[in-house]
Amino acid sequence: MSDTVILPAVVRTVPSLQTTLALALVASLCYLLPFFFRKTIVDKDGNATPPGPLLRYPFLRTFPELRMDGWSKQFGPLFSLWMGNQLYVVVSDIHIARDIFVNNGATFSSRKNYFIKNQSILRNRAITACQYNDKWRNHRRIATQFLTPKAVAGFANEIDYEAHIMLRSFYNSAAKGVGPVCPQHDTVRYALNVMLIMALGIRTEATTHPFIDRTLELTLEFNDLTGPLSNMEDFITPLQYLPTPLKKRGRKLHDSLIELYSVFLRDVEAKMKAGEHVPDCLAKTLLLTREQEKLDWEDMCMLLAVFILGGVHSTAGLIQWFLALIPAHPEVARRAHEELDSVIGQDSWPTAEDESRLPYIRAIIKEVCRVHAPFWMATPHYSTEDFVYKGYFIPKNTGIILNCYTLHHDERRYPDAHTFNPDRYLDDHLSSADSAKLGNVLERDHWTFGAGRRICPGMAVAERELWLAISRILWSFTVHEIPGEPISLEEFDGQSGRVPKPFRARLIPRHDRVHALLQSRDEITL
Ligand code: HEM
C-alpha cells in the first residue's frame, strides 16, 4: 500500500494569502469609508438629505465661511455637510432662512451639545449653550430683563458716558491728533464697561485695570476653543475619552470663568447683606431671585459670563472694523461729516436721540455690520424633530447653519455686494432689532444678529453702543492711515468672532470744539 496522503478537498479551497489580505482590506474599507465619506439619509417617503460635498470635514476651522460660500454655489442654497459624525444643513437663501429659522422655530431652535463648548466649558448654561428647553427659556427671560430697548434706555447715561470716555481716551492717546491710535484696547474697554455695568454694576476705571486683561484672556481663550463649527473632539466621539490638550483647556477655562465671576458675585452678595447700595444690575437680580428662579451658583456665574463673552468682542470688533474701513473711503467720511455739520453742528455731538435725523450715519453702521459680521455663520441651531423641506429630508439632531457670509453677498439683495456702500441702506429707517421682525424678509437689513427664537438678545444694547461710538468718532475726527502702515482689511481669525488684524491709525480732531467737549468729563468709579 502506498503511503501517499490524500488531502481532503476542503484544504484545497483555503484562500491564498493575497486573497485573505484583499478581503481584509475590503472589510476594513467598508468599515472605515463611512467615516470619511458623506452618507445620504432617506426618510420612509423617499425624501433624501440635501446634496453636498463628498468628504466629511471634522477639521474645518479656518475661514469655513469661504468654503461654505463655494459649496452653496456648487450644491445650491440648501446643502448638507458632514463634520465627522454630525450632519449640518447650510441655509444660504433668505427665504429658506425665514422658513427654517422663523416659521419653523419650534423645530429648529435647539443647540448641539458640543463636547468642548457646551459640556466642558459652559456646562449647558449661559443661554447660548442651553438646549431648547425650559432652562433656556428661563435664563433667556432673566437676561432679557436687562436687554430690552426699554431696559437699555434705563442705562442711557452710563452707555453715553462710556462712549465719551472711549473717545477721550482716543484723543489723549493720540496726543491730540499728533500720534497714532491703536483702537483695540479702548474699543474693548468701552464694550466691556457697558457689559460690566449691566451685569455687575461696576466699571474698570483705568485703561490698565488688571480685570481688563484677565477678561480678555478668558474671552479670547473661549473664542479660540469654540469655533462656529467647533472641534474634532465634537465630531469624533472616541477623542472625548482621550486626554487631549483641548479637553484640558476646556475644563480649565470652565474653572477660570467660575472662579472669576464668583469673586464678583460674592462681592455683590456681601454688599447686599451689609445693606450697602448696589446699583440695579443682573447680579443683583440673580441673587434676589435665585430661589424662585431655581438658579444654582454656576447658573448665575455663567449668566454673568455670557454678557462678557457675547457682548464685548462682537461690539468692539465692529467699531474696529469701522475704523479700519473708513480711511479707505474718504467719500463716505466726507458725506458723513456733511450730514453731521448740517444736522448737529459743532457745538454739541450726536446723542442716542439723534439717530433718526442722521440716516447716512445709520446706513454706514448697517453696512459695516453687513460687510464684517463677526459671526459669519451665526451660532448653528439644532433640529429637534425630523422635518421635510421642499422634498429634502432634515433629520432630527441636524445642525443648522445660517450662512450669513453668502446671504450678505447675494447680488440680488445687495447689488455690487463686495463694495462697501452705505447708500444701499439710505431708505432703511429701522433699528436692526425692528428690521429682523419685518414680514418681508427681502427688506431685512442684514443677518448679523442671527435669526428666529435664538436671535441675539443683546441687539438693542449693541446697536446703541455702535451708534454712540461711530457717530461720535465721525463728529470728532477724521481717520487716516499712517504713512507706511497700510491698514489690512483681512479678517483676523478668532475662531468664533472675527475682528480686524491689529492696526494703528491717526485720528485728527475735526474742529476746535473737540478738545473742550472731550475733556469735559473725567473717569469715575462705580
Ligand atoms: C454687535 C454685537 C453683537 C453681535 C454681532 C451678536 C451676534 C449674535 C449672534 C449671531 C448670535 C446667535 C444667534 C442665533 O443663534 O441665531 C448671538 C447670540 C447671543 N448673543 Fe449676541 N451679538 C452681539 C452682541 C451681544 C450683546 C451685547 C449681548 C449681551 C448680553 C449678547 C448676548 C447674546 C446671547 C446671550 C446669545 C445667545 C442667545 C440664545 O442662544 O438664545 N450679544 N449674538
For residue 380, the ligand 1 atom closest to its alpha carbon is 15
User: HSE on the CB side for 202, CA within 13 Å?
Assistant: 18
- Digit-by-digit pLDDT tens for the chain (526 residues) are 444 444 444 445 667 888 888 888 887 777 677 778 999 999 999 999 999 999 998 888 778 889 999 999 999 999 999 999 999 999 999 999 999 999 999 999 999 999 999 999 999 999 999 999 999 999 999 999 999 999 999 999 999 999 999 999 999 987 776 789 999 989 999 999 999 999 999 998 776 677 778 888 898 899 889 877 878 899 999 999 999 999 999 999 999 999 999 999 999 999 999 999 999 999 999 999 999 999 999 999 999 999 999 999 999 999 999 999 999 999 999 999 999 999 999 999 999 999 999 999 999 999 999 999 999 998 999 999 999 999 999 999 999 999 999 999 999 999 999 999 999 999 999 999 999 999 999 999 999 999 999 999 999 999 999 999 999 999 999 999 999 999 988 777 566 678 888 899 999 999 999 999 999 888 776 6
C-alpha closest to that of 102 among 483, 521, 453: 453
pLDDT at position 338: 98
Structure confidence at residue 9 (pLDDT): 46
CB distance 497 to ligand 1 below 6 Å: no
Q: Which residue has the cell 427659556?
A: 137
Q: What is the pLDDT of residue 173?
A: 83
Which of 145, 195, 456 maximizes ligand 1 atoms within 8 Å of its Cβ, making it the mutation to test the pocket? 456
* Distance of CA 455 from the midpoint of ligand 1 (Å): 7
Q: Is residue 18 part of a domain?
A: no
Q: Is residue 313 part of a domain?
A: yes
Query: E strands within 169-297?
Result: 180-181
Kind and range of the H or E run holding 113 = none
If one residue of 449, 453, 454 were mutated to test the ligand 1 pocket, choosing by the most ligand atoms within 8 A of its CB, it would be: 449
Please report, to the nearest 10 degrees, the dihedral formed by the alpha carbons of residues 125, 127, 129, 132 taken in order.
110
The residue contributing the CA closest to ligand 1 atom 18 is 456
- 182 in a domain, yes or no? yes
Let me know: does 411 contact 71? Beta carbons within 8 Å.
no
Query: Is the CB of 400 within 6 Å of ligand 1?
Result: no
Distances (CA, A) of 521 to 36, 164, 296, 304, 526: 61, 8, 40, 29, 15
Render pLDDT for 70-98 as a digit per residue (tens, 0 to 9).
999 999 999 999 999 999 999 999 999 99
How many domains are there within the chain?
Answer: 1
Q: What is the pLDDT of residue 6?
A: 47
CATH at residue 124: 1.10.630.10
User: Is residue 192 within 6 Å of ligand 1 at its C-beta?
Assistant: no
Ligand 1 in contact with 380 (CB < 6 A)?
no
**Within a domain: residue 16?**
no
19 in a structural domain? no
pLDDT of the residue at 350: 98
**What is the pairing mode between strands 399-402 and 86-91?**
parallel
pTM over 0.90: yes
| Residue 499: strand pairing partners | 492
Neighbours of 221 (CB within 10 A): 17
CA gap 196, 190 in Å, rounded: 10
Residue 6 domain flag: no
In sequence order, the 6+-apart residues with CB closer than 8 A to the CB of 353 are: none
Tell me, using a 6 A CB cutoff, whether residue 449 lines ligand 1. Answer: yes
Q: According to the annotation, is 130 in a ligand binding site? A: no
Q: Ligand 1 mean position to 311 CA, how many Å?
A: 7
Range of the domain at 237: 38-519
CA of 375 to the centre of ligand 1 (A): 9
Assigned domain for 524 exists: no
Taking only Cα atoms into account, the Rg of the chain, rounded to an integer number of angstroms, comes to: 27
Are the beta carbons of 85 and 439 closer than 8 angstroms?
A: no
* Cα(362) to centroid(ligand 1), Å: 20
